Chains A and B, each alone.
Chain A
């Protein structure tokens, strides 16, 4: 009937999206296969090198250093940030908490600052001696070493700290939304059955918020794996001492846009992309298994 006649409307609606999507997503995606097999000096000068980029990448100590740093940052972010975010959400979700709106806005505010500006803000905070943390802690506790070398010796911890400040409230908002969907009846029933606070959390709340927790974890992992701005700006556009702050994204940037080898950058991009796709698929598989149980 109607559907058999060609209706241009949906295609007209899709046209702007599809046009740009094909030109700037699909085409570069296809190009990146080719580019990964080349060595370039800028986008104009190219040379075929076959699989050499990948072969070199697998034994490139800098790449592995960057990968290790990135994994460290990701794990640190997950293990520190998410429990704190969940804790804050649980606190805020308790009945009888006053000023909930104020606290929620306060905790959420840092995520509005944006990564590049968080990095600029944390540059003076993490300084030795005159920095906010060292100066304050040294005044409060004279035993604290004012020369504590945040950005020299403990680069990744410092970055995790900055990310914690920025994202804890952001993730808290997700958890809070999930907690508000937890059935009050179930919780009351459990309380009547004599379950203590931990048991109620473990057996009622946690299963209810598990899907969203999985989702937040995935988002955090994907975001953390692509971390660039914090180390780039805080370490003055370098990898920092002994490349302790070098992340995969920074290495990709340096290879592609400082050295000028877009081919190697594409190879790094592929390794990163495959890793992230693997993690995403794993998360979906795990989530499905969890639901089936």
Chain B
């Protein structure tokens, strides 16, 4: 025994021996691991709340159709993006049913039309009258070069959530607010420095130039656009410059009212709970996410339509979105299609979805359900479902383009550049900033056009 040990020791140091043993054991385990049994038709989901809401539905479906079972798989958005694109472009395995978010889905539209990895659903959708059942504009982000590649999962209208506890304690009445101007004027007394360190501990709106969440919502609300109806870049649209200039007057200078809170982080939840901001732009899904991630906010918030950009203007916007599409090479299309339709049109699931995630359905016939009228304790007893549905028909339309994400990136870059310009020159006047904003946007537009023009595959398309 000792001889053997000496013998081994001659060749291998103890650490090397350990690595060797690890390798042997790992290989044995790998050999013994059962091959993944076929557990059903895979469906990739990137939103965790969707996954949990679909689970009971799929279980019930699988009991009804054991021979056509569906297997739900939860993937993070970027993991799905990588796997989906790798599959579409390089042939690695992709699920039969895929539910990507709007930005990920759009990236599948960058190649030649015949290389889009999603199955073309245009005929099916038209033949079965889905265009009329489901909120029609919601198809737009998933339609590329006239072909429909996905079913919309949601509408995602945006409301303004405000800290009702703080506002009401100060005796402020928000019912008089119609425009952003009103909003900031009425709430101005709340901007205070309670600790005496020279910094306000409370701001009026969560919005910042380094975080595209709020700027993109306000841009769409105000009628700005990054890509026009014909999928051409439209960064230098004059309305965009106006939005940029006004946003800077909110975020910088003597009249600053906005504060930077990270949208999806633990510290962000903490900052909201601590009351760093009074108002937040909250799409329906985010309300659901806050209920789970930040339960301490419950009962402190109320909802109202977003203050209008100008008198009589739109009181809502849109943020996020998810579609359901099918792998072009699926062998189970009929089953997948049937499942998808049941899933997306089911009244039971729509109610379940709302209960779990606060997301309202895009199926118009279901909007009358009484579940949307139930008082919501998280929002101080307001019927949050009804408030979102009231705004659903007014959400702005969004185009489909693989370049929406990079357009938004360029837009926020201009916002940052404008902020630096304002601080450098101490210019915080909207009209003056607008000139510079337009100049920056023109530059960005030229660069954006060059960037898109580089894609030989899109350029070749009809």
Contacts and interface: CB of A to CB of B under 8 A. Distances in A.
Interface of A: 39, 41-45, 47, 49, 52, 56, 61, 124, 127-131, 142-143, 145, 147, 149, 152-153, 236-237, 239, 241-243, 257-260
A127 to B, nearest CB: 4
B115 interface: yes
Given A127-B267, A143-B197, A49 B89 contact: no
A145 B200 CA distance: 11
B267 A42 contact: no
Given A128-B271, A152-B260, A241 B111 contact: no
A100 to B, nearest CB: 22
B89 A45 contact: yes
Contacts of B85: 42, 257-258, 260
Nearest to A131: B267
Contacts of B110: 41, 259-260
B265 A127 contact: yes
B267 to A, nearest CB: 4
Interface centre among B78, B413, B456 (most CB of A within 10 A): B456
Nearest to B269: A130
Interface in B85-103: 85-86, 88-91
Contacts of A45: 89, 111-112, 115, 457
A131 B457 CA distance: 45
Given A128-B267, A152-B210, A242 B412 contact: yes
B292 interface: no
Nearest to A40: B89
A124 B210 contact: no
Contacts of A149: 210, 260
Interface in B226-278: 259-260, 262, 265-268, 270-271, 274, 276
Contacts of A130: 266-267, 270
A41 B86 CA distance: 10
Interface residues of B, number: 42
A47 B454 CA distance: 12
A164 to B, nearest CB: 22
B84 to A, nearest CB: 11
5 shortest interchain CB distances as A-B pairs? A42-B89, A241-B210, A41-B111, A127-B267, A130-B267
Given A42-B85, A128-B271, A147-B276, 6 more contacts: A39-B455, A143-B197, A152-B262, A237-B78, A258-B82, A259-B110
B206 to A, nearest CB: 12
Contacts of B454: 39, 52, 56
A47 B86 CA distance: 18
A95 to B, nearest CB: 31
Nearest to A264: B454
B447 A242 contact: no
A260 B210 contact: no
Contacts, number: 93
B81 interface: yes
B199 to A, nearest CB: 7
Nearest to A123: B265
A42 B110 CA distance: 11
Contacts of A124: 266
Nearest to B212: A241
A225 to B, nearest CB: 24
A236 B78 contact: yes
Contacts of A39: 454-457
A150 to B, nearest CB: 10
Contacts of A43: 89-90
A242 B416 contact: yes
A130 B266 CA distance: 8
Interface string B401-429: 00000000100110011000000000000
Nearest to A38: B456
A258 B112 contact: no
B273 to A, nearest CB: 10
Given A41-B89, A45-B457, A131-B267, A243 B111 contact: no
Nearest to B414: A242
Contacts of B111: 41-42, 45, 260
B267 A260 contact: no
A61 B448 CA distance: 10
Contacts of B412: 241-242
6 contacts: A41-B112, A129-B271, A147-B260, A147-B271, A243-B413, A260-B110
A236 B270 CA distance: 20
Contacts of A147: 259-260, 271, 276
A149 B271 CA distance: 13
A142 B196 CA distance: 11
Contact of A258 (B81, B417, B450): B81
Contacts of B81: 258
A42 B88 CA distance: 8
B196 to A, nearest CB: 10
A47 B456 contact: yes
B211 interface: yes
B210 to A, nearest CB: 3
A257 B266 CA distance: 30
Contact of B262 (A41, A128, A142): A128
B265 A49 contact: no
Interface centre among A149, A236, A239, A260 (most CB of B within 10 A): A260
Contact of B90 (A44, A128, A143): A44
Nearest to B402: A259
Interface string B54-67: 00000000000000
Interface centre among A49, A145, A147 (most CB of B within 10 A): A147
B107 interface: yes
A56 B115 CA distance: 24
Nearest to B460: A47
A236 B263 CA distance: 12
A239 B210 CA distance: 12
A25 B444 CA distance: 39
